[in-house]
Amino acid sequence: MSDRYTNVAKDNARVGVQIGKAVGGVTVGGAPAKEDELRIRLTELRSAMRRSVESGKLGPDRCEEVESELAEVDAYIEGRGRQQRGRMLTALKKVKGLLGDFGDLASIAALVLAVAQGAGQ
């Protein structure tokens, strides 16, 4: 067997990874890092919500609604709902909608959603 490998991609074809010989596991990407970022962004969102409740901008009822949706995200992160990625994303879309009238919180919620859409892929 030859140790020479040739890429025959033509025109606009793109080669993401070209492996001649692989021994052991091969991983492309970094989903765990995205899940770590998801945890960080969730903490950031919760802190900002807490500050908004304390300042009176966000009502406690709305905060509780958001927290009930974020419980779905927590379950996904902790691995209890690993098969429920769709439910987690739906919950984050609801969170984004619930916080839509609060500019700073809405932008953080949008960021959390964007990170979550990349996590687990």
The token duo for 6 is 């040739």
Band of the pLDDT at 30, cuts 50, 70, 90? very low
Percent of the chain with pLDDT over 70: 77
Query: Rounded to two decimals, what is the model's pTM?
Result: 0.69
Residue 76 pLDDT: 86
Is 87 inside any structural domain? yes
Whether 89 has a pLDDT exceeding 80, the answer reads yes
Is 1 inside any structural domain? no
Band of the pLDDT at 13, cuts 50, 70, 90? confident
**CA–CA distance, 18 with 30 (Å, rounded to integer):** 18
Is 66 inside any structural domain? yes
Residue 28 pLDDT: 62
Is 17 inside any structural domain? no
Mean pLDDT of 86-109: 93
Residue 91 pLDDT: 94
Domain that holds residue 68: 31-118
**Which amino acid, one-letter code, is at 75?**
A
Is 20 inside any structural domain? no
Domain count, the chain: 1
**CA–CA distance, 6 with 15 (Å, rounded to integer):** 12
Is 35 inside any structural domain? yes
Residue 1 pLDDT: 52
**CA–CA distance, 69 with 109 (Å, rounded to integer):** 12
**CA–CA distance, 42 with 25 (Å, rounded to integer):** 31
**CA–CA distance, 116 with 61 (Å, rounded to integer):** 25
Is 5 inside any structural domain? no
Is 9 inside any structural domain? no
Residue 64: helix, strand or coil by DSSP? helix
